[in-house]
Amino acid sequence: MSDSDADVLEMLETLSRSSGLPGHESGVSGVVADALRALCDEVRLDRLGNCIGLRRGEGEEPRPRVMFAAHMDEVGLIVTKIEEGGFLRFSSMGGVDPRILPGSEVRVLGSGASLAGIVGVKPPHIIHEDDTSEAIKADDMYIDTGLTEEEVRRRVRVGDVVSLNSTFARLGGLVSGKSLDDRAGVAVLVDCARRLGRMRHEADVFLVATIQEETGLRGAMVSTYGIAPDVGIAVDVTHGDMPGVPEHDTARLGKGPAIATGPNVHPAVFARLKRVAEDNSIPFQVEVCPESTGTDAWAMQVTKSGVATGVISVPVRYMHTSVEVAALDDVRHAGRLSAHFAASVDRGFSEGLRCY
């Protein structure tokens, strides 16, 4: 493993272990800001918590502006009610499938120290026979922290967020953990910034770890408004190959990042991303998105008078679970692709985007 691979792995592990539910990203934004600070000319947090790093280009002003967005929020749960006995009722925040929850470990993130908990359900012995074929509904589950009701009421408040338990691990050439959606993308941004430090680029490059993608692309909306880029690239995850899912609906792990095409992507940006990959021998796959890409690019595209968008995706299996799986190589190649793309943007390219 090269130094650069080790850096990517370490960053990804740190990011995956950090917590940052939608609207509550401060636990992870500090990690991102620290990582970007050494690699950027300036780093700031905006009013809603987006972390924005800027690497100024070498070109004459006004320079083209390229924005990369990877969201740093993660899916999880939120406490809706404290029941008698101190059991916590919850609902999903950002799209956790309740069927994956029974028996899982979670962390309740209140204002003080976090609390360990498990998602409890009735054991099979006492479930009525008629109900055993049905998936357990979220309303029938609860979080058990093992604490007395009195202690729970002192330490937990309705509205406290709950993260899935972090279980980062290496699985051969793959990694597994929570929140690879989209901390893999954030790791790509950091890797991109590191690589750009060794390259020359004409454009101003904005590396934005966005908030609240999972609840409605809200961080991308406001950060894109402030930056007003010529080109906006969302770096996110896409569904990886797994048994029982058709090949044409997935991207293969380890075969390089997916480059999206469809109405959410500007054709010239798509063509440039492919060309950059080919010129630099970066493996890639093409992902077809007939409508929204389901990424920050959907919001970026219609900001102000419009932004030319592209999407680079890292294939990830088991999305929105605590055992998301990705290939380290794909993350690294996505970093290379991002950096070479950013370095390829000159004024001619950005002006050409406005009249195709």
Partner 1 sequence: MKETIRTLVEAYGPSGNEERVREIIMGMVREMCDSVRVDTLGNLIAFRRASRPATGRPAPTKIMLAAHMDEIGIIVTHIDEKGFMRFSNVGYVDPFTALGQRVVFGNERAGVIWMEKLEKMKDLRLDKMFVDVGQGAAGDGSGVSVGDVAAFDRKMTEMGNRLTAKAMDDRIGCAILVETLRRLRESPNDLYFVFTVQEELGARGAVTSAFGICPDVGIAVDVTPTGDTPKAAISDVSLGKGAAIKVKDSYLVAHPAVRNLLVSAAESAGIPFQMEVLERGGTDAGPIHTTREGVPSGVISVPTRYIHTPCETVDLGDVEACVRLLEKVLSNEVSV
Shorter beta-carbon distance to partner 1: residue 206 or 284:
206
Secondary element (H or E) of residue 231 = strand 231-239
The answer to whether 213 is a known catalytic residue is yes
351, burial (CB in 10 Å: exposed 0-12, middle 13-18, buried 19+):
exposed
Cα–Cα distance for residue pair 286/262, rounded to 1 Å: 11
CB nearer to partner 1: pick between 216 and 263:
216
Residue 215: Cβ-neighbour burial (10 angstroms; 0-12, 13-18, 19+): middle
Q: How far is the CB of 53 from partner 1 (least distance, A)?
A: 16
Name residues contacting partner 1, limited to 118-177 (CB under 8 A). Answer: 139, 157-159
Please answer whether residues 233 and 203 qualify as being in contact, where contact means their C-beta atoms are separated by less than 8 angstroms: no
Of 8, 12, 20, 23, the one binding partner 1 (CB under 8 A) is 23
Span near partner 1 by CB under 8 A; candidates 112-120, 221-229, 233-241, 310-318: 221-229
| Cα dihedral 122, 126, 127, 132 sign | positive
Q: Which one of 11, 24, 119, 188 is in contact with partner 1 (CB under 8 A)?
A: 24
Report in angstroms how near the CB of residue 288 gets to partner 1 at its nearest.
29
Among 176, 223, 321, 322, binds partner 1 (CB under 8 A): 223
- Closer residue to partner 1 (CB): 120 or 226: 226
Could you give the 3-state DSSP secondary structure of residue 58? Answer: coil
Residue 181 C-beta-side C-alpha neighbours within 13 Å? 29
In whole angstroms, give the CA distance from residue 321 to residue 11: 20
Name which of 226 and 254 has its Cβ closer to partner 1: 226
The span from the CA of 6 to the CA of 194, in Å, is 13
Binding test (CB under 8 A) with partner 1, winner from 80, 146, 149, 153 = 80
Question: Please, which residues bridge with residue 144 across strands?
Answer: 118
Does 115 help bind partner 1 (rule: CB under 8 A)?
A: no
* Under 8 Å between Cβ of 195 and 187: no
Does 42 bind partner 1 (CB under 8 A)? Our answer is no
Interface residues for partner 1 in 224-263 (CB under 8 A)? 225-226
* Residue number with CB closer to partner 1 (281 or 305): 305
258 residue type, one letter:
A
Q: Which residue has the tokens 């272990």?
A: 17
CB of 222 to partner 1, least distance (A): 3
Paired tokens of 209 = 């770890």
Both tokens of 73, joined, read 């929020």
Q: Interacting stretch for partner 1, rule CB under 8 A, among 75-83, 145-153, 276-284, 311-319?
A: 75-83
Given 13, 202, 213, 324, the catalytic residue: 213
Q: Which of 20, 22, 53, 177 binds partner 1 (CB under 8 A)?
A: 22
Tell me: does residue 271 bind partner 1 (CB under 8 A).
no
52 membership: H or E segment, kind and range: strand 51-55
Chain residues in the site for partner 1 (CB under 8 A): 22-24, 26, 46-48, 50, 78-82, 89, 91, 93, 139, 157-159, 212, 215-216, 218, 221-223, 225-226
What amino acid positions are annotated as catalytic residues? 213
